Amino acid sequence: MGIIHGLVGVFWVGIHFNNEAFLLPSMAKAQKLADMPMLRMMPKISMVGAILGFLTLITGVIFFLIRFPLDPGGWLADPEARTVLVGLVMVLASLVIGMGILRPGAEAFGKKAGAMSPMDPLPDDMKAGLARIGMFLHISTALVVGALITMILAINGGI
Ligand code: HEM
């Protein structure tokens, strides 16, 4: 279970690095849809991200219950368990942002984009939508990297 959890978790972080390296820079500068070739991949990236996020959460919770006895008081007293719980809070926050803001935002953008030609200049409201998606993607990246750091701290004894 640890290996599966570690792999899906790290893949999930990886998709965030892909966003930071390729998707976000083109979104920040875009004046028209043609400036953002990666955007056509957005629905797929977003779906894979959501699946990996939920798999990380589910496998993590199962692994947690295997590793630590069912005793909430004891969890907070155990440095390893409480470090993982900090990671859990970060992951939940990232999933709330993803499902509550990023996916609906991307869908709304996609609907408007579908009615435009690639060379049309982007209207200001769509640029503002992209900036908002970009900001929350950065926050999500910070949260998943933070969660990965808590995992590394936990396997080294916790804090
Ligand atoms: C970005 C999110 C996450 C990433 C990248 C991640 C990654 C990892 C990695 C690489 C390990 C080491 C694998 C091993 O020990 O075999 C680990 C351990 C662990 N993870 Fe996660 N994880 C994430 C989120 C979570 C969540 C939400 C939970 C649920 C509570 C969780 C629970 C655990 C537990 C219990 C361990 C074992 C810790 C220990 O042995 O001290 N993880 N995680």
Per the rule left: phi > 0, alpha: psi between -120 and 50, beta: everything else, 106 is alpha
By the 8 A CB rule, do 125 and 105 touch? Answer: no
Domain ranges of the chain: 2-155
Considering the entire predicted model, what is its pTM? 0.94
By the 8 A CB rule, do 113 and 33 touch? Answer: yes
| Ligand 1 near 155 CB (within 6 A) | yes
Mean pLDDT of the chain: 94
Highest mean predicted confidence (pLDDT) among 44-48, 87-91, 111-115 = 87-91
* Residue from 3, 5, 78 whose mutation best tests the ligand 1 pocket (most atoms within 8 A of CB): 5
Query: At residue 20, does pLDDT exceed 90?
Result: yes
Across residues 87-95, what is the average pLDDT?
98
* Residue from 7, 63, 140, 144 whose mutation best tests the ligand 1 pocket (most atoms within 8 A of CB): 63
Residue-by-residue DSSP string for 106-117 = HHHHHHHHHTS-
Residues above pLDDT 90, as percent of the chain: 85
Q: How many angstroms separate the CA atoms of 53 and 46, rounded?
A: 10
